[in-house]
Amino acid sequence: MDRKPVSSLLIWLIFAAALLVAPLIFSQGASISFLCQMGAMTIFALSYNILLGQTGMLSFGHAVYYGLGAFGTIHAMNWANDGGLAIPLVLMPLVGGLVALIAGVVLGYVTTKKSGVVFAMITLGIGELVFAGTHMFPAIFGGEGGISTNRVYGTSFLGFTFGPQIQVYYLIAAWLFISTVAMYALAQTPLGRLANAVRDNPERVEFIGFSTHWIRYLMLVLSGSFAGIAGALTVINFELVGTENVSLALSGAILLFTFIGGTSYFYGPIIGAIVGTFMTAVLSGYTPAWQLYLGVSFILVVLYLPGGIASLFDRLALAAARRMIGCVALPTLSMVVTLMVLTAGAVIAVEMLYHITLHAADGPIMQLFGRQTDTTSPANWLVAMALVIMGSVGLRMALPGFRAAWEGIDSGIAHEPVTAASKQGAAA
């Protein structure tokens, strides 16, 4: 019996079980709201990776399809609330997907005529054009106040009214599972394989008789459709949509999330969406410096982890398969400890600086790591500096061993720490 279908089925079952169990573990109201946002953002990130990771198309306007899908959904929901449309709430994401698909058909043909930097610039222009248009037609897009709706309408669906947040979560989770399976299946189709070929070698694809323009066009239309589903689920969750849902800022955010997770792996955008949603929905409630942390995280991933966070899991799986976890455990632990020390010092300094700059009127005392901290105290600044210096020195010392250990994993050779005894043995 082939083990691959069995292992794939097991992964999907684990994914479905995780979606079912998540609200039982994180049962507080704020946690369930976070899970709802994370679910919609995961679909959005996966849809973006259809362009970036699978087809090699860097887009700065993907929020256009997300936002237009959201606006189409909210108008359909208001129409249904007035009794003019007999579409249950569980099918409203299809409305968002259809609206975004139509937008992709209209806008995508022009944008995908070019590739590379030109395509990226065209998407940037279209994104700005659509964003400006939302302010020009307030009757359709609601102006600065946006458009609100009520998700509780009509008869219940299998006993679900979708008033309680937990019911909304399971609706989003169901669509997340369906959309994830559909996007994974798309990647395995001949079209998905051709998209990979267009990403890697478009000249050869043209040479064997396929149109790279039509492949890019179809992938953009399908990607936009899934983005519209994500926008519809966001509307169902918040019962509100505004012009920021088509903004360049949102397009940039989903680019960051996807890249942080890893564009070369199907599950990379899922990781990126979790990290990104945590920073925007949770961390932003604790610190005004969350955007700084997000930006620094993105820069560090680009410089030192181009495969994204998913590449770490991939290499850990490789180490486990080669039974070499023990060879990398100590070097990795050393790196983690030094990074934690360095990060703690940097965070203390940044938070105190932000407090002095933005909250000077509140006095010098701030709450930091659960304790009262005086931002004018030289001792606190010295502690921050000492942690940064210790972390930097430790990082410099731990980095060579860390690199050697993981290079050993890639080559299949275990690198052991060099000791005086091993040097003598080598000399002998």
If the chain, 428 residues long, is cut into consecutive pieces of 10 residues, what is the mean pLDDT of each piece? 68 94 87 94 97 95 96 95 88 96 95 93 95 91 89 83 91 97 96 95 93 96 97 95 93 95 94 93 87 91 88 85 82 90 93 88 84 88 95 91 80 49 42
pLDDT of residue 318: 82
pLDDT of residue 417: 44
Q: What are phi and psi of 372, to 5 degrees?
A: -75, 130
Q: How many domains does the chain have?
A: 2
Domain boundary at 303, 332, 364, which?
Answer: 303
pLDDT of residue 242: 92
Print the domain residue range for 353: 322-416
Q: Does 14 fall in a domain?
A: no
* Half-sphere exposure (Cβ direction) of 154: Cα atoms closer than 13 Å: 22
pTM listed for this prediction: 0.89
Domain co-membership, 270 together with 133: yes
Q: Does 15 fall in a domain?
A: no
Domain co-membership, 153 together with 101: yes
111 CA to centre of own chain: 24
Query: Are residues 280 and 256 in contact, defined by beta-carbon separation less than 8 angstroms?
Result: no
Domain co-membership, 328 together with 284: no
pLDDT of residue 309: 92
Residue in 131, 129, 122 with CA at minimum distance from that of residue 58: 122
- Residues linked to residue 160 through DSSP beta bridges, in sequence order: 157
Q: Does 328 fall in a domain?
A: yes
CATH of the domain at 87: 1.10.3470
d(CA 307, CA 328): 19
Domain boundary at 240, 269, 303, which?
Answer: 303
Domain co-membership, 182 together with 280: yes
The residue length of the chain stands at 428
d(CA 228, CA 220): 12
Domain co-membership, 40 together with 98: yes
Domain boundary at 243, 274, 303, which?
Answer: 303
Q: What are phi and psi of 67, to 5 degrees?
A: -70, -40
Location of structure tokens 């070499």: 324
Q: What are phi and psi of 364, to 5 degrees?
A: -80, -15
Domain co-membership, 259 together with 297: yes
pLDDT of residue 4: 62
Domain co-membership, 355 together with 397: yes
Query: Are residues 49 and 268 in contact, defined by beta-carbon separation less than 8 angstroms?
Result: yes
Domain co-membership, 296 together with 343: no
Q: CA-CA distances (angstroms) from residue 181 to 11, 266, 276?
A: 11, 11, 22
Domain co-membership, 336 together with 259: no
Sequence-distant (≥ 6) Cβ neighbours of residue 397 within 8 angstroms = 338
Domain co-membership, 181 together with 281: yes
Q: Does 161 fall in a domain?
A: yes
Domain co-membership, 279 together with 330: no
Which pairing describes strands 371-374 and 240-241: parallel, antiparallel, or unpaired?
unpaired
Query: Are residues 220 and 15 in contact, defined by beta-carbon separation less than 8 angstroms?
Result: no
